[in-house]
Amino acid sequence: MKTNPGNFFEDFKLGQVIRHAVPRTVTAGDVALYIGLTGSRFALPSSDTFAQSIGYARAPVDDLLVFHLVFGRTVADISLNAIANLGYADCRFGAPVFTGDTLTATSIVIGLKENSNRETGVVTVRSTGVNQWDETVLDYIRWVMVRKRDKTSPAPEPVTPDLPAEVGVQNFTVPASLDVQDLDLDLSGSRHLWDDYAIGERIDHVDGMTLEESDHMTATRLYQNNAKVHFNQHSEARGRFGKRLIYGGHIISLARALSFNGLGNAFRIAAIHGGRHVAPSFAGDTIYAWSEVTAKTEMPGRGDLGALRLRTIAAKDHPCTDFPKAGDDGKYPEAVVLDLDYSVVMPRGRIRQSSAR
């Protein structure tokens, strides 16, 4: 057979290294489409001069665009036969990516465990994205539930890797040249810096963004993510939901873009500790988001920067004025679609609220 049937559970071997296809050169076109499809307004990836004012050679590519492009490489090998994308862990953003860089991805299988129904199994991989100099730009663990080709094939020795509950601050990276001393808070779009945020603080990001089929498909195609459920209404009409599912990463991007309103100086995503796509989203849904500051950490060797650990929750057709989240029973309100646990880097300093603009 000439076509790629995707890998089934039996095709994965512990320690196997998979070199993913289609290296991708990131261009100004990708960056513009990312802004056009998400509405992101963070100043750093929008502006060469702003980037230069804080020590970058020019505007780096949005961290989540890097994530989606690396993730997109892995889909044909890892999750074409996945029933569910179960989770992420230990996701670290590395070297900044600039337009002209070419991203390639590799995965290594670090966990395999057949499910008791013998029809599926859980595959855990560490995926790594590198640039053309083989510098790591992104590194993350993902585990997915994958179909077996044949129920009767023997189960492998079960291996469930230890997953770190969080990425340690020692693994947060920013360019050595980063210098926020002359950060212009008028231009960044927010007067609030690391010292202004308190643990437990909750921020409603206020705005909503309605999903359109064309938008999410264009975003997902841009990432060359070929998971079938996003594109084929003819088959999905007879599927579980009767309609195309939206790539969970698109929801992450929308939540991040909405979070500019309240977190405008959170210009760098350092790590994703974990995340759950709590419920699927569909065209026509309007996405809202809110964030809670769950921890604050100083950045080693960088007195000018701090990290905020955030929990950003996205909900559909439900403004987040009531800060919807999981209850004590772990159950989420019906509207919640995303619960993302991640850390951002922010310049330190305290802005007095009374400062005139």
Q: Is 276 in the site for a copy of itself (CB under 8 A)?
A: no
Q: What is the DSSP letter of 347?
A: E
Q: Is 8 in the site for a copy of itself (CB under 8 A)?
A: no
Distance in Å, CB of 116 to a copy of itself, minimum: 29
Distance in Å, CB of 213 to a copy of itself, minimum: 5
Cα of first residue to Cα of last residue in the chain, in angstroms, is: 65
- Identify residue 327 by its one-letter amino acid code: G
Q: Is 253 in the site for a copy of itself (CB under 8 A)?
A: no
Distance CA 112, CA 62 (A): 32
Give the gyration radius of the chain's Cα atoms.
Answer: 20
- Identify residue 297 by its one-letter amino acid code: T
Nearer to a copy of itself, 116 or 355 (CB): 355
Taking Cα atoms as reference points, which of 336, 261, 278 lies closest to residue 39? 261
Binding residue for a copy of itself, selected from 150, 212, 298, 334, defined by CB under 8 A: 212
Q: Is 207 in the site for a copy of itself (CB under 8 A)?
A: yes
Chain residues 298-327 in contact with a copy of itself, contact rule CB under 8 A: 317, 319
Chain residues 85-124 in contact with a copy of itself, contact rule CB under 8 A: 99-100, 102, 104
Q: Is 57 in the site for a copy of itself (CB under 8 A)?
A: no
Binding residue for a copy of itself, selected from 115, 171, 226, 297, defined by CB under 8 A: 226
Please identify, among the stretches 81-89, 148-156, 175-183, 232-240, the one whose residues bind a copy of itself according to the rule CB under 8 A.
232-240
Please identify, among the stretches 89-97, 139-147, 158-166, 205-213, the one whose residues bind a copy of itself according to the rule CB under 8 A.
205-213
Nearer to a copy of itself, 75 or 91 (CB): 75
Q: Is 238 in the site for a copy of itself (CB under 8 A)?
A: no
Binding residue for a copy of itself, selected from 153, 160, 177, 233, defined by CB under 8 A: 233
Beta-bridge partners for 336? 315
Nearer to a copy of itself, 36 or 168 (CB): 36
Binding residue for a copy of itself, selected from 132, 153, 177, 321, defined by CB under 8 A: 132
Distance CA 162, CA 110 (A): 10
- The rounded Cα 241 to chain-centroid distance in angstroms is 24
Number of residues that bind a copy of itself (CB under 8 A): 84
Helix, strand and coil in the chain, % to nearest 5: 25, 30, 45
Q: Are β-strands 336-347 and 302-316 bridged in parallel, bridged antiparallel, or unpaired?
A: antiparallel
Label each residue of 88-154 as H, E or C.
EEEEEECCCCCCCCEEEEEEEEEEEEECCCCCEEEEEEEEEEECCCCCEEEEEEEEEEEECCCCCCC
Q: Is 2 in the site for a copy of itself (CB under 8 A)?
A: yes
Q: Is 31 in the site for a copy of itself (CB under 8 A)?
A: yes
Binding residue for a copy of itself, selected from 9, 10, 20, 93, defined by CB under 8 A: 20
Taking Cα atoms as reference points, which of 193, 129, 168, 195 lies closest to residue 271? 168
- The rounded Cα 41 to chain-centroid distance in angstroms is 17
Distance in Å, CB of 147 to a copy of itself, minimum: 16
Distance in Å, CB of 221 to a copy of itself, minimum: 4
